[in-house]
Chain A
């Protein structure tokens, strides 16, 4: 780790800014100056400074107020307060608020040197702590399953309990909620942890291929089977088999798997020699299997066999309190992976994330953050970086009538479609005539760019 830092000097006195600027330039640090608290906050939003020297007495926003805002928004940024003899009390307040140190003007050059040594030591310890905490989190946090909402806490409690037994688990939840992560966590906490975890997406392959993948085959069992091959049920031996999209498998495959679960034996395709297998089955689905049973598409006996323990992973929109935690986690992840210094989300951006519906759940959130980080122009993600989410930055007001909400929604969709009624109708899943009627009823008209009313929408040729 280099001891060269990104430093900002915040002082309304030019002479102080210049003196410290020259001093730190000689030390080889990257130095920036700001003449006010506001300028400092603006620069902090654009670039991650590690250390700020802040003068306590500044007009409009004093050093104490600036310190408070820095510690609230950028808690990792270190702050050293510069103060005169007359304001020692404020320096004490600053230390209580999280300042790393303070310097009395004028200070001895070797004193500043000593303070910098302490800061470097502090920075080193913080980096070590962060690294170790990351290691510890990986061990205790079930990898990437993150959440503090009640349903997620419940899942966290359930995982180690479920892991102790060897019974089948069915994980339900919408796409992108992290069903596979839950399965992996159960495996990792179980006594099977040192054996393989094999995940198969049943929805991604046709029945015959799935059969061959699971059971393996003898040489010559079918055209193209030039060599004998072990199936995953054999390969997984001692470990956990995770069958995703279990609702997609055919009735025949359900019977075959039911037999394996009961007998713990398989026959490779084309072989009559039974092979003992030992695995734990965890299945997952986004379908409502009870409805599938009622519709005759899923076998009831197989359902009860795979659904001994049921874990439901809630969609992200039902645990919105987890969004900030997840967003920050992905921000940190992609900030490191892409080596772009984007490590902050402003409040408006966070509001957008909170108000968005996340049909693709955590996976969609992760992708959104990755995309925003890759395209970000500054250190802080703002609403403009999330514009692709297609949401209005204005949160939905809770006290609006259905009529108002419908009107706003229609207008938003029309604007999104550049007032193409056919496309808008398609998105809204209503026909064009209905949309025209609603536009007339709500008097929705297209406004010209200068804000004046233009032609009413129904007059537009579509």
Chain B
């Protein structure tokens, strides 16, 4: 359950371009009606890299984010530019623990080839914002939604993600008190 005016901190993890960070922060304020502030970048935790998979372990980065001093921020969302995994999955676009304090978005796969051509930048930014809103939903204890037209619906592929509109269904919106 979110509290009114809960501050959300957007944390670049490692070297991340500025635009997606700004877009994510703006969408949090625009869609969740919560103040979002961009925080100084966090160094990539070294132990998060898995040399066998050449990917970063989302769980380890989340754990690192959770150890930060939250100060006036209720939740933190990390934005990462490398490929993320959780041990059972080949990859993830984002990760959050249900009802937790920190979430993570990876931009790495969001700019990949879709339908044979590189997607335009605005599509990539939209995808990043959708993943961020979805993961924040989990931090506010929302589970996956069955409605395909809701941002809390699980998107397993970029096609699914693109097909999801910028919208929370009325049940999720009600639960998120938007």
Contact = CB atoms under 8 A, between A and B. Distances in A.
B120 interface: no
B87 A106 contact: yes
Interface string A104-116: 0111111111100
A112 B154 CA distance: 11
A3 B154 CA distance: 14
25 contacts: A3-B146, A15-B59, A16-B87, A18-B59, A19-B87, A20-B88, A22-B97, A25-B143, A26-B96, A26-B98, A26-B138, A26-B143, A26-B144, A27-B144, A28-B144, A82-B88, A106-B87, A106-B88, A107-B90, A108-B90, A108-B91, A109-B90, A110-B157, A110-B160, A113-B154
Interface of A: 3, 13, 15-16, 18-20, 22-23, 25-28, 82, 105-114
A15 B87 contact: yes
A108 B96 CA distance: 17
A109 B134 CA distance: 15
Nearest to B88: A19
Interface of B: 59, 85-92, 96-98, 138, 143-144, 146, 154, 156-157, 160
A208 to B, nearest CB: 67
Contacts of B88: 16, 19-20, 23, 82, 105-107
B89 A19 contact: yes
Interface of A is mostly: helix
A107 B92 CA distance: 11
Nearest to A11: B88
Given A25-B143, A109-B89, A112-B156, 17 more contacts: A3-B146, A15-B59, A15-B87, A16-B87, A19-B86, A20-B88, A22-B86, A22-B97, A26-B98, A26-B144, A26-B154, A27-B154, A82-B88, A106-B89, A108-B89, A110-B156, A113-B156
Nearest to B156: A110
A238 to B, nearest CB: 53
A411 to B, nearest CB: 58
A19 B96 CA distance: 11
A207 B110 CA distance: 89
Contacts of A23: 86, 88
Nearest to B159: A110
Interface centre among A26, A27, A106 (most CB of B within 10 A): A26
A114 B160 CA distance: 13
Nearest to B58: A19
A3 B144 CA distance: 12
Nearest to B95: A22
Given A3-B146, A26-B143, A26-B144, A107 B154 contact: no
A106 B160 CA distance: 21
B143 A108 contact: no
A105 B98 CA distance: 23
A11 to B, nearest CB: 9
Contacts of B98: 22, 25-26
A106 B156 contact: no
